A and B are shown apart, each in its own frame.
Chain A
Amino acid sequence: MSAPAAPEASHGHTTLEEGKFQIYVQIAMLLAVITGIEIITVYLPFAKWLLVTVLVVFSAVKFLFVIFFFMHLRWDKPFCTILFFIGLILGGGTMFALLKLFGMRESLPLPLP
C-alpha cells in the first residue's frame, strides 16, 4: 500500500523545495521593509516607551521570520526548535534579570570623591 504513495510524497517534497524560492525572496523583502520602518520609527514624536515597544516587536518579528523560514525550523523536527529556545530563553532571561537588577536605584554607581 505504501509503494504508490512514495512518488506522490517525492513530488510534494519537490514542490515544497520549488516554492521555497518564492518564500525566501518575499521574506527578505519584508525584512528590508521592516528595517526601513524601524529607522523611521526612531524619529517619530511619540512616547519613548511606545517606540521601544514597537522596535522590540519589529525585532522579534524579524528574528522569528529568519529562524522559522531561513533556518528551516518550520520544516524541521520540533526538537530543533525546543533545543534552540532553551538557549534563547536562558540568554534572554539572563538579560532581563541583569537589566532589572542594574536598573534599580540602589545599583546607581557611587559619585566620585
Chain B
Amino acid sequence: MNRSKSSKLFVALATIFILHNVIGETVHAGASPAVGTVQKMSGPASIVRQGQTISASVGQEIFENDILQTGRDGSMGVVFSDETLLSLGPESVLVVDQYVFAPRQGKFSIVLKMLRGTAAYLSGLISKLTPESAHFETPSASIGIRGTHFVVKVEEK
C-alpha cells in the first residue's frame, strides 16, 4: 500500500469513526445500551426519543425513556433484552420508564407506563428472577407481575 492510499484510508476511517460517535451521541446521548428491539409492526407506529419522533421499523433499537406510540390501525411488538414481550394495539402510547437488566450485578428493573390504548405483556427474565422489580402502570393503577401474560386497555378521558 503506497503512502497516499494509506493516508486516504486513514482519513476515511477517521471520518467514519467521528461520524459514528457524533451520530451515536445525538441519537442517544449517554452510553446506556439499547434495552430492546422492534420485532413486529404494521401501520403507523413511532418512537419518541428526547423530543424527536422517529418512525418505527423492524429491527430498530429501543432505549430507556423512549415513548412508543401507534396511530390508527397501527401496532408494534417489542422484545426486551430479558425476553419480556410487549405489544401495542392501535392508538396507543406507552413510556419505557425504567429498564435495567444486569443479572451479573443483580440489578433488575422494568417499569412500563401505559397512557392510552391497548397492550399485551408477556413477562421475561426480570419478573421471573425478581418479581418485585417488574411493574406495569396506568394513570390510575399499578400492576404487580408474578411471571405471567396479560392484556391492558387504558381509555383516555
Chains A and B bind each other: no
